[in-house]
Amino acid sequence: MRAQRRPRRGMFEAPFKVRNHVERILGLPWVRFTFLVAGVRFGRRFRIFGAPILQRVANSEILFGDGLELRSTPRSNPLAPRSPCVFATREAGAVIRVGVDCGFSGAAIVAASRIEIGDRVMVGSNATIVDTDFHPLSPLARRTHARPVARPVRIEDDVFIGTQAMILKGVTVGRGAVVGAGAVVTRDVPPFTIVAGNPARVVGEVEPDVPSPAS
């Protein structure tokens, strides 16, 4: 199936958007510099509001597909992202891979092993996706700075992640699923389901109104 672009609203639809887009365009050189210094590339058709925080350790990868939309400034989203978007790898060999036409608002994506995000995924304001606990669970291991457990995370195509949700290590969020605002997701989410709460549980289903990639 040919990728369908999300329709975007014009910048003159509302006066505040003019300011946002002026800031976006004026900030573009700094955004490009940020990506250059981090050794990270973005594709074509991007819209990047403010510089994200990119922390890529040596011999790890952060890859973005075309149509990337990043909102890192408080004015760039009505939910006022409280920090710039963060994409960080913590270990050599770690990978963050983002498909085409994905959008993130003040979200933090941190990988010690692998975080794969499919196409047309929307990640709400201040949401977090991590594949590691950052610190070992045993006190002794913490004292000796041993490596914590890391388990890959996969977010499949057409997933919508609500504001302030947290996706934790080892989780696969199935195609077309919706993660509710503030959900803490610790287990896999079946495709086309809605999950919410802490820990996240299935609270509904989504009509699978797009053809599967195989058809």
d(CA 87, CA 70): 11
User: Given the complex with ligand COA, which of 20 and 132 has the nearer CB atom?
Assistant: 20
Query: Interface with ligand COA by CB under 6 A: which range of 59-67, 132-140, 148-156, 177-185?
Result: 177-185
What is the maximum span of the chain, computed from C-alpha positions, in angstroms? 58
Query: Interface with ligand COA by CB under 6 A: which range of 29-37, 38-46, 190-198, 207-215?
Result: 190-198
User: Given the complex with ligand COA, which of 70 and 194 has the nearer CB atom?
Assistant: 194
Query: 84, 124, 176, 191: which one contacts ligand COA (CB under 6 A)?
Result: 124
- Binding marks (x or -) toward ligand COA, 17..56, rule CB under 6 A? ----------------------------------------
Query: Interface with ligand COA by CB under 6 A: which range of 58-66, 87-95, 133-141, 180-188?
Result: 180-188
Active site residues: 135
Kindly give, in sequence order, each residue whose CB lies less than 8 Å from that of residue 73, ignoring residues fewer than 6 positions away: 20, 23, 49, 50, 81, 84
d(CA 121, CA 32): 23
Q: Per CB under 6 A, does 163 bind ligand COA?
A: yes
Residue 87 CA: distances (Å) to CA of 37, 65, 148: 14, 14, 19
Q: Per CB under 6 A, does 125 bind ligand COA?
A: yes
Q: Per CB under 6 A, does 79 bind ligand COA?
A: yes
Residue 25 CA: distances (Å) to CA of 16, 81, 116, 123: 14, 19, 29, 23
Q: Per CB under 6 A, does 203 bind ligand COA?
A: yes
Rg (CA), the chain: 17
Query: 39, 197, 208, 213: which one contacts ligand COA (CB under 6 A)?
Result: 197
Interface positions with ligand COA (CB under 6 A): 79, 105, 124-125, 162-163, 178, 180-182, 194, 196-197, 203-204
